[in-house]
Structure 1
Amino acid sequence: MFQNLAPAAVDPILSVAEAFRADPRPHKLDLGVGVYRDANGNTPVMTAVRYAEQQLAQTQTSKSYVGLGGNMRFSRVVTQLILGNAEPTGWFTMQTPGASGGLRLLADLIAASRPNATVWISDPSYVNHAPIMRAAGLRVASYPYLDVASGGLRREAFFEAVAGLGQDDVLLLHGCCHNPSGVDLEIDDWQQLASMVSQQGFLPFVDLAYQGFGDGLEQDAAGLRLLADASEEMLVVYSCSKHFGLYRERTGAALVKSAGSKQVQGKLFELARRSYTMPPDHGAEVVAMIIESAELTALWHSELYAMRQRVQSTRHQLADALSTNGMEAEYLCHHKGMFSMLPLSEASIARLRDDAAIYIVAGGRINLAGLAPNKIDTLAEAIVRLAA
């Protein structure tokens, strides 16, 4: 039965994690997998999450099934986090098994609605964007995004590419904290996109996976909201992995704006039933409990602020350390979120791994949120010494 299976494609992120785990060297450093770590190298359970889980353990009376749409209280509070406190019209939100589950669900929705659509992703983009879209049978193309030389946005080329999109095109954007580059669109860029979508009719699709890790919860959703106001139809996928620390709970959501929201809801339920039936409830209930409690919300805000400040501080410290060692990296200070890309060749990445036990994803993406303060100088020295 399975003898003729083609070899599985190597995942560029998970393969780095596997190699790191197999490395016996005690000084090894993992800058690959995108998880937040504190100054001690741990990925903590947030205090607000722990309190909500304790309350849930004491009060939950059943483990029976939730519906196809998942936890509806979760969907309501997530919609508020994304779109603001005003009751949005024309939107349908459902819980999904993480953002990856949401991406596949919405890709299947696109394929069911317009199978000849082309999904446009940034160059570079999150490594799972293209595989998920292709698995749903969709065409994938890329638009210019990162200027490797300057570490900034290829703004003119980006908007020139978007200007050519029409009704058969889906524009997949990162809502904030672009993965892998850390280069975000400015609010004026979002305003220009809003004008273009109303004129050209392409479908905007926003992946919001790091809300609160850039400039703050409201600021990180501001561009998405501008685009939402201008769009008759729109897709959003959302992750609670990073800003709630619920990585293993697979807590995400898919949102669709459409005049035919009831028809969309029915099709999404049908697609979910064929795939995973319903998402896990634990993380969703925790999020709902936190946002519905003023006390837990305030605690979560303070924890998220501290996480964001630590990552921003790490950015500046690494830029300074690289500069001290002779490599200009001031552009790191202008990036947002957990990631940035260093201009490293594949040979340099291999040398860092083999000679210094430093693990970096192909392409040069580094996870600033996984870098402990006492490792910054060591990393900078190794990059300059081995990457030249």
Structure 2
Amino acid sequence: IHETLFAAAGLRVQHYPYVGADNRLDVDGMLATLQQVPPGDVVLLHACCHNPTGFDLNHDDWLRVLDVVRARELLPLFDFAYQGFGDGLEEDAWAVRLFAETLPEMLITSSCSKNFGLYRERTGALIAVTSDAERLLDVRSQLASLARNLWSTPPAHGAAVVATILADEPLRQIWQDEVERMRRRIASLRQGLVEALTPYGLAERFAHIARQRGMFSYTGLTAEQVRRLRAEDSVYLVESGRANVAGLDAERLDDLARAIARVVQA
């Protein structure tokens, strides 16, 4: 969806490596590509729970990315759609806060669709950070013009729900607890699937699933294996091998593991 939106706005999109064929982060490849990006260009970064791969950068990785972004004078645009589903509400904001404390300007797109269960309300925020007060006024003016042309007066129901929860300490605590339960459930499903694959000798091959974060996973399954799962077991994945971990049934992980083993070991 990112590329479609940028293209519709008339922006030219280029890609940087992120995950290699071995189902591991390619941080060196990512940084080498960013080193070639012209100053002033925008670089899209996922703060946590990378969609679609599920692979997140660690703190050391983020520090390396920050060094390149700062040296090349790039404008970071953070996609922050899954706060709370990775390592926790505070932990997931680590990279965003690091960049905000260090760089003169950045953009953050934050969504309440998932962590507040308000998907159809389109509730979120575009946060512009700049150390230049005059530039901030220019940015605000441009955003106001865009908003006027897009929706003029947006629906406020979702925003009111979020504001009510965050402004009330008991409600805020209930929400935080619910997000944490969801985070733990997803992590448990990831670990459970890897354990269910162990009897088939596939735990090491799919160990990356347990290391990933968030709702989605690049499983490493091929398009042909995905088609067989769909045709023979009614298991549905995107042909890239991307799966929605949050949609798994904990009671049927053994069935899923059996089906995966059959198509992988055929």
TM-score bucket (shorter structure) = over 0.9
| 1:272 positional shift | 1.5
Q: Is the 1:180–1:365 Cα contact (8 Å) retained in structure 2?
A: yes
For residues 181 and 146 of structure 1, the distance between their equivalents in structure 2, rounded to whole angstroms, comes to 8
- Tell me the number of residue pairs that the alignment of Structure 1 and Structure 2 aligns: 260
- Aligned with 1:147: secondary structure? coil
Q: Is the 2:85–2:213 Cα contact (8 Å) retained in structure 1?
A: yes
| 1:217 positional shift | 0.8
Deviant stretches of 4+, over 3 Å: none
**Structure 1 partner of 2:99:** 227
CA RMSD, 1 decimal? 1.3
**Structure 1 partner of 2:223:** 346
| 1:279 positional shift | 2.4
Q: Choose from 161, 167, 190 the match for 1:286.
A: 161
- Aligned with 1:272: secondary structure? helix
Q: Is the 1:351–1:387 Cα contact (8 Å) retained in structure 2?
A: no
* Higher mean displacement: 201-210 or 267-276: 267-276
**Structure 2 partner of 1:324:** 199
| 1:166 positional shift | 2.7
- Amino acid in the other structure paired with 1:314: L
- Aligned with 2:79: secondary structure? strand
Q: Choose from 249, 271, 296 the match for 2:146.
A: 271
Matched, 1:139 2:12: yes
For residues 265 and 140 of structure 1, the distance between their equivalents in structure 2, rounded to whole angstroms, comes to 25
- Amino acid in the other structure paired with 2:70: S
**Structure 2 partner of 1:190:** 62
Matched, 1:130 2:3: yes
- Aligned with 2:86: secondary structure? coil
| 1:300 positional shift | 0.8
Matched, 1:297 2:191: no
Q: Is the 1:197–1:230 Cα contact (8 Å) retained in structure 2?
A: no
Q: Is the 1:183–1:335 Cα contact (8 Å) retained in structure 2?
A: yes
- Aligned with 1:171: secondary structure? strand
- Aligned with 2:198: secondary structure? helix
For residues 148 and 218 of structure 1, the distance between their equivalents in structure 2, rounded to whole angstroms, comes to 31
Q: Choose from 368, 373, 377 the match for 2:245.
A: 368
**Structure 1 partner of 2:84:** 212
**Structure 1 partner of 2:72:** 200
| Structure 1 gaps, min length 5 | 1-127
Q: Choose from 159, 165, 169 the match for 2:37.
A: 165
- Amino acid in the other structure paired with 1:184: D
| Structure 2 gaps, min length 5 | none
- Aligned with 2:52: secondary structure? coil
For residues 71 and 91 of structure 2, the distance between their equivalents in structure 1, rounded to whole angstroms, comes to 26
- Amino acid in the other structure paired with 2:28: E
| TM-score, normalised via structure 2 length | 0.94
Percent identity reads 43
| 1:266 positional shift | 1.0
Q: Is the 2:227–2:239 Cα contact (8 Å) retained in structure 1?
A: no
| TM-score, normalised via structure 1 length | 0.65
**Structure 2 partner of 1:120:** none
Bigger relative contact order, structure 1 or 2, given CA contacts below 8 A and separation 6+? 1
Deviation string, structure 1 residues 228-286 (Cα, Å, up to 9, x no partner): 12221211111111111111211111111232111111111111111222322111111
**Structure 2 partner of 1:35:** none
| 1:198 positional shift | 2.5
